[in-house]
Structures are given as C-alpha cells and as structure tokens.
Amino acid sequence: MYDQFYGLTGRPFQLTPDPHYYFESITHRKALSYLGYGLAQGEGFIVITGEVGAGKSTLVSHLMQSVDKTRLTAATIVTSHLDGLDLVHMAAAAFGIDTRGLDKASTLKSIENFLHAEARTGRRCLLVVDEAQNLSIDALEELRMLSNFQLGSSALLQIFLLGQPEFRDLVRDAPELEQLRQRVIATHHLEPMHAKEVEPYIIHRLSRAGWNGNPSFTPDSFATLFDETGGMPRKLNTLMNRVMLMGAVEQTTRIDAPLVEAVVADMAGKPFAYEEPLWATREPEMEIVAEIEAALASVAEVEPALDEIKAFTADAKAVEEVGRIETPAFDAEVLISRIAALEQRVSEQDDALRRVLSTMIDWMDKEGNVEARLGHKNEAA
C-alpha cells in the first residue's frame, strides 16, 4: 500500500533477506572482511554470530552475489534440530546429490565423490549452515568430518557457520568441540548498528526502492527509531514498515518522532493519538509562512525610512522657521527622492499583505474541509 502512495518501486523494508538492500554497517564490513579472508584461505570454518535479525543471512547472500560462480560451488542449509545422519543427508541434498536409499556411509562417499569431481574442474565447494545454534554436538562433529575431505594437501570443502549468540558460547566452551575449534580460522559477532547509522540505513534502503525524497524525515524520527529498535536491522524493518504504512494512511509527506511513537504505541496495543502538523508538512502552507515573514521583513525595513523622513521634515521646518539655510544641513532633492522611494515600498508592502491575506483565507477554507473529512473518517471508524 505505502509503496504506491510514496511512488516506490519495491518493498524497502521487507523481512525476507534480500542482498539487493544490503547495507554495509561498520559491524557488517568487519564480518564481510572475515568471510572474504576465509574464502581466500579455502579451508576450515568461519563462524559468524549475532542476535536474531542482526543481518547474518543478508550478509552471506550479499557475499554469494560477489563470488565467481565458475570457481566456487556454494550450497546453503537452514537447520532445525538435526542429528548427525539428518545433517549429512541435508548437506548432500544442498549440493544436488541424490542420496535416496543410501545409508550414512554411502551418503558420505557420494559427497566425497562430488567434491573430488568439482575440484578436478577447478571449483572449490562452500557449505553455508544457517541457524547453527540448532545443531547438536553430534551434527557439528559430522560437519567437522566433512571438512576433512582432501585432494592432496587441499581441502575440498569449506564451511560457514551462522548462529545466534549461544552458538558462539557453545563453540568456545564445549569440551566435545575441541577438534572443531582448532579448525575455526575466523569468527565475528555482529553487533547492532550505531545510532548514527540508522539514518543512512533507512535512506539507503529507500533509495534502492526508487525513493525520491517523499516522505522526508525529521532528525528526531531517526533518534526515536534507534531508541525503539536498538539498531537491530530486522526490528528497524518491522517498525519502518508500520511507520510508512501509517504515513500513507495519514497522507503525510513527512515522518517525525510523534508519528513513530504513535506506531510504537499501536504495535504495543496501547492507545495512541497522532495529529499531523498540517501547516508544517505541506508545501503551500510553507509558502504562506514565507510570504508572511517577507512582509514582516518589509515592515521592518520601512520603519527606519519613516524615521529618516521625519528627521528630514523636522530639519526643513526648522530651516523655514529660523530662516537660516546653513543650519542644519538640508537637501530638498534628497528628501523628495526618499519620499518617492518610501511611497513605492509602502505600495509594494500593501500588495504583498493583500496576497498573504487572500492566500490565508483560501488555506483556512481548505483546512476546514480537511478537518471535516478527518472528522468524518473518525466517526466512520
């Protein structure tokens, strides 16, 4: 709905990982460096952890888009609570290996044959395991065994493990995983984005969806978004979806902190009230304000001129009464010129004020219609 109202060409805050919208925050840049290092090594395990919604899957999807598909065969599995045998079959299926009717030993042999075949054609193999915190110790040991396959001195399979913070603790502390720990060549924990990254994150995703500046955002809106989400990408996406939707419903062209707070209250099931500042969010009304300010500035410029004319007039009167033309110094031509200029300014000011008053009357009529429509909408609701 809101994409049509704001003229967007896509869904910038969808929850499904999409590398098209990948934003490289500071922590994601570090993680990408570790993943790149791991790919260059071509062996062992790379462990990336982070809270739910930190952007682990989007990070790896972005990396996969940048690799040379002719030199790397990559497969991804998303795990639930798997035992060792299930994991072996899932890994085979991810590489497109048919293991129907095969036992564990035969399945492992099929995987090894596939890896050798890929190596002979000059391709390395990568297995990405998402939600690794769901794996049992037995399943992790099976992964370690898969990483042992070699051709000469070169490893045939490299593995990326993506998991939540508890997986980092498991790999670090479990005595049964000592051999796997020795094969981990790099780790990184994805942190939430910093407060200063929220604005560029939102603008980046909107721009990728064809945003042209509508809606605009006030600085306090970004601060409120960070306060409510802690800088977690998925939480930001969830909240921004609702904020954009309310913005479209309210037909506003500016997102501010009160609107974000109203959405937060609504999502929490609490009563909320949001009143759009009509004069501040519409361009015609801003033009009225500018005209009023210009008229007031004109008045401020005319008043000193009036004082100057009064002084000239007083001087002329004094000269006439005393009959002494040399005191005070007086130039009649200057006075006539100043009076003419003042008359022109007063005329221009009068025209400007008339235009402002006429525009304000039209605006008040229009706002009366808007309020009537809003009142009708509230009654209907």
Q: Show pLDDT as tens, one digit a residue, over the chain (381 residues).
A: 799 999 999 999 998 888 889 999 999 999 989 888 888 888 899 999 999 999 998 888 888 888 888 889 999 998 777 788 888 999 999 999 998 888 989 999 999 999 999 999 999 999 999 999 999 999 999 999 999 998 888 899 999 999 999 999 999 999 999 999 999 999 999 999 999 999 999 999 999 999 999 999 999 999 999 999 999 999 999 999 999 999 999 899 999 999 999 999 988 887 766 665 543 444 555 555 555 555 555 555 555 656 666 665 665 555 555 454 444 444 566 666 767 776 677 676 666 666 666 666 665 565 555 444 444 444 544
Per DSSP (E only), the strands in the chain are 45-50, 72-78, 124-130, 150-151, 154-155, 157-163, 184-190, 216-217, 254-255
pLDDT of residue 192: 94
According to DSSP, the β-strands at 254-255 and 216-217 are parallel
pLDDT of residue 69: 82
Read off the amino acid at residue 313. T
Three-state secondary-structure class, residue 78:
strand
Do the Cβ atoms of 240 and 13 come closer than 8 Å? Answer: yes
Which residues make Cβ contacts (< 8 Å) with residue 142, sequence separation at least 6? Answer: 84, 87, 88
Do the Cβ atoms of 75 and 91 come closer than 8 Å? Answer: yes
pLDDT of residue 70: 86
Region of residue 59 (left: phi > 0; alpha: psi -120 to 50; beta: else): alpha
Three-state secondary-structure class, residue 73:
strand
pTM above threshold 0.85: no
Q: 326, exposed or middle or buried, with CB in 10 Å at 0-12, 13-18, 19+?
A: exposed
pLDDT of residue 279: 38
Instruction: Find the helix packing angle between 26-41 and 56-66, rounded to 10°.
Output: 50
DSSP string, 113-177: HHHHHHHHTT-EEEEEEESGGG--HHHHHHHHHHTT-EETTEESEEEEEEE-HHHHHHHHH-GGG
- What is the C-alpha separation between 56 and 72, in angstroms, rounded? 20
Do the Cβ atoms of 123 and 156 come closer than 8 Å? Answer: no
Q: Extract the tokens encoding 204.
A: 């980046």
- What is the C-alpha separation between 46 and 370, in angstroms, rounded? 58
Q: Extract the tokens encoding 243.
A: 């904020």
Q: Which residue has the tokens 């995983």?
A: 177
Instruction: Find the helix packing angle between 283-322 and 332-380, rounded to 10°.
Output: 150
pLDDT of residue 278: 45
- What is the C-alpha separation between 215 and 280, in angstroms, rounded? 13
Q: Extract the tokens encoding 7.
A: 């003229």
- What is the C-alpha separation between 45 and 337, in angstroms, rounded? 88
Question: How many other CB atoms are there within 10 angstroms of residue 376's CB atom?
Answer: 10
- What is the C-alpha separation between 335 and 346, in angstroms, rounded? 16
Torsion of CA 232, 235, 238, 243, to 10 degrees: -80
Q: Extract the tokens encoding 148.
A: 């042992």
Q: Extract the tokens encoding 367.
A: 């706002």
Bond from prior residue into 215 cis (ω within 30 degrees of 0)? yes
Do the Cβ atoms of 84 and 139 come closer than 8 Å? Answer: yes
Torsion of CA 103, 167, 30, 56, to 10 degrees: 70
H/E stretch holding 342 reads helix 332-380
Terminus-to-terminus CA distance in the chain, angstroms? Answer: 19
